[in-house]
Structure 1
């Protein structure tokens, strides 16, 4: 593992000029970081109370800007705007609605470099990942602009003189909450589906990564989205959710984040009988079978593990490797980990940036230390580096005991515990032992074994022979405590539509 020391990077321990490098990075970052505002009823504002919160560059710890925090009065204005905006948006002809969405997608594509740079500054991921995420967010919007035209109803055969039909209509204003790990893709999964279905939306992205959403919201405005259809707010999370969810204006609640917070928000929604879409945490198992190439599998797993510094709900996080391939897999995984270049995401050639915040790095290190104390061996990484920023190195653990916390708690970081198995049924039992059920991965060259994995994994997102991410045309989501509902695919519209049965007696 190498760490960059260029102007914007985190200097290595003992390197000269660390202070000047940090200062230069902070100055460059602040010059390119956009102004942060709330968008309510088509107008940008700093919020009624003037409260703000600093946004930090995770590569340096420097302050990039200050995000405004909404007050109750701001949220009430957003609710009223969303109610008015929905009544306008739902009644527009579908071609007019989808035209706005396609235009917004084109503007996001055109501004992907700008959005990506802001994303790297505030979240830390490499610039190539950030720009790619901005393009994927636009692609998701493009896909839903087309899928909106296929939210079909149906005619049901009935008796003479009666027409029985099913129609699907937008459910109404939506409240959505997303975390910091995908500052463009996360919000867009909610925005694209809601707007495609004809809903309005109040979305609260993370206060730690606000700029990406601000820039995308500007694109929607430039595309001609009516005022009030998209409202963007930031604030104290508990205050915002407690205010929005019980409001009679809100008809659906969508959340991506941790299981404890998801349960809290689902409880608030259940108290007022509102449906929810919950995409919650995971602890994705990987099963590497005896009939596959362990070196190829290790390289694929390492790419998946270190994407976004492991800060992905679907990140592969428990590796069960058949004993016949264990040594070869571990050797190849360690080699792939050593080759990962860690540094500021703005620097050329960086493959993994810092973690998004200090608390996340501390939580990951606690899990590594717990495993180490229980007898696990650290083959690479596992130490907090010196210097500014929230960096944590690619880390590989072996001989991890079953009672180690890292095998039971979502690590959400660049740490890979690798374990042996001898029997596939036992591996599946261990893979399914946790209350999580979001993603799972398997590597095999036999169709029959692949079928057994697909049928046996208790997860909603399955990948065989790769660790790829979500795509807009197919549904993603979990079960057990990893949530309910689906995002992406035709199924992604379901939470934002109400199904009506219409029985029409024909005049005689």
Structure 2
């Protein structure tokens, strides 16, 4: 596609491509055809990025709050000006509808503007001491950050990975997903064009294990920020332990949704169906395991199936498309495997369960119900457009099912009982809980999980503080 951006790495402000480097074929998920060739970093490129990041930290840690705010606000303004180009690139390389890509741009705008204010609120505190003594607690930037972002939110994930370290006064090396490089480059370019010193943020791409081992093997890197699967996250935490690098890990989930008999079922259905098939279900906080009280199970299941069949699937660039293709050929293969296994175990397929067309990576919106708990899909995050709907007897059993898995990223509940809402808020094991709502994120709200879904937070004041260390200073 002629309007897809040219691809490169950015190191020390220089666009780097060619030079005999290995390349990665970027494809359009609608057709499966190549739209770009991405240069991959060699060891020398990574060494250069580390050297520049060390220099960038020395520069940026001395920046004033106003300087950091100016850059973040300037980048936000540029993202608004470039919204259509950024959104179009994201849709071309990831597949999601253009409307969703535009929302991602504005998510970054909101986050950068919030962080621009937060840089003035990074207070320490003064402790109470006798006359003649002074003790203070300071927050200082942790140092160069290695940030790894996945492909499912090609604009939003790089925005999170870049915004927090820059607000805190750190430098950052961003390794975004090779499948969606143009989006990440576009976000970083907005920051550079807004006046960020070229030494402060770099973008590299490469063979993931090579890049992670190289960057985390360097004592220059002081912090790892990773969004991705639990399996890869555990591996990276082990690598980071060698140099005692701090970590923020936003890992996989398997979002439970508790639906009680006293809920507004129509509102729950309208909200849940839109949430489930957003970004083709390729969302770590996607509502997935619907834990439905027996009294409303059939109504909820049948209503979900009816609405799923009405979802318009197509090219994300076309007007009216509600769900695009999956992002890469691995995802439809995983869906076939997981849905097939569930059916073999006795699950009922209400709709979908198959690919659409003979090109690209399209998959039908799918609904499984009455699924045995020993089916693979009930323990393995499907990360695709499938809803899992099972009946349960009552609150105690439903909470136990919600907490059954080792994941705890996002959870949802629908009930009209105010006291039950408070019990659920306390008893559900998740980093984020939505009650009668699927809105669980915001620029000012911490985003992160518990258990195998990771630790630490992005967004909100917590996102900036995650890129800082605490120092106590005592003066006699």
Question: TM-score scaled to structure 1, two decimals?
Answer: 0.92
**Partner residue, 1:24:** none
1:468 Cα shift?
A: 2.4
Corresponding residue to 1:322 among 290, 293, 301: 293
1:277 and 2:248 equivalent? yes
Separation in 2 of the partners of 1:39 and 1:149?
Answer: 29
Q: Secondary structure at the match of 2:295?
A: coil
Separation in 2 of the partners of 1:489 and 1:157?
Answer: 28
C-alpha contact (below 8 Å) 2:433/2:440 kept by paired residues: no
**Partner residue, 2:23:** 52
Separation in 1 of the partners of 2:252 and 2:114?
Answer: 25
1:162 Cα shift?
A: 1.1
**Partner residue, 2:194:** 223
Corresponding residue to 2:417 among 430, 446, 461: 446
Distance change (3 Å), C-alpha of 1:184 and 1:150 = same
1:268-306 CA distances to partner (integer Å, 9 max, x unpaired)? 001211110000000010000111122221221111100
Separation in 2 of the partners of 1:199 and 1:128?
Answer: 33
1:221 Cα shift?
A: 1.6
Corresponding residue to 1:198 among 153, 169, 185: 169
Q: Secondary structure at the match of 2:408?
A: coil
C-alpha contact (below 8 Å) 1:286/1:441 kept by paired residues: yes
1:141-197 CA distances to partner (integer Å, 9 max, x unpaired)? 111111111110011011221111011111110001011000010111111111000
1:495 and 2:469 equivalent? no
1:386 Cα shift?
A: 2.8
1:328 Cα shift?
A: 1.1
Query: After the TM superposition, which segments of 4 or more aligned residues of structure 1 sit over 6 Å from their partners?
Result: none
Corresponding residue to 1:358 among 316, 319, 329: 329
Separation in 2 of the partners of 1:167 and 1:451?
Answer: 36
1:385 Cα shift?
A: 2.4
1:295-349 CA distances to partner (integer Å, 9 max, x unpaired)? 2212211111000000000001100111111111112111211110000000110
Separation in 2 of the partners of 1:76 and 1:47?
Answer: 18
1:72-98 CA distances to partner (integer Å, 9 max, x unpaired)? 100111011111111111112211121
1:49 Cα shift?
A: 4.4
Corresponding residue to 2:347 among 335, 351, 376: 376
Separation in 2 of the partners of 1:355 and 1:468?
Answer: 23
Gaps of 5+ in 2: none
Separation in 2 of the partners of 1:466 and 1:48?
Answer: 51
**Partner residue, 1:289:** 260
1:413 Cα shift?
A: 0.3
Question: TM-score scaled to structure 2, two decimals?
Answer: 0.99
C-alpha contact (below 8 Å) 1:47/1:71 kept by paired residues: no
**Partner residue, 1:250:** 221
1:473 and 2:444 equivalent? yes
1:335 and 2:306 equivalent? yes
1:299 and 2:254 equivalent? no
1:415 and 2:383 equivalent? no
Separation in 2 of the partners of 1:92 and 1:436?
Answer: 39
**Partner residue, 2:454:** 483
Where in structure 2 are the equivalents of 1:56-455 lying within 5 Å? 56-455=27-426
1:210 Cα shift?
A: 0.5
1:234 Cα shift?
A: 0.4
Q: Secondary structure at the match of 1:324?
A: helix
| Greater mean deviation of Cα atoms: 342-351 or 330-339 | 330-339
CA RMSD of aligned residues (A): 1.0
Separation in 2 of the partners of 1:426 and 1:169?
Answer: 46
Separation in 1 of the partners of 2:415 and 2:130?
Answer: 54
Q: Secondary structure at the match of 1:325?
A: helix
Separation in 2 of the partners of 1:347 and 1:260?
Answer: 35
Gaps of 5+ in 1: 1-29
1:47 Cα shift?
A: 5.9
Aligned length: 476
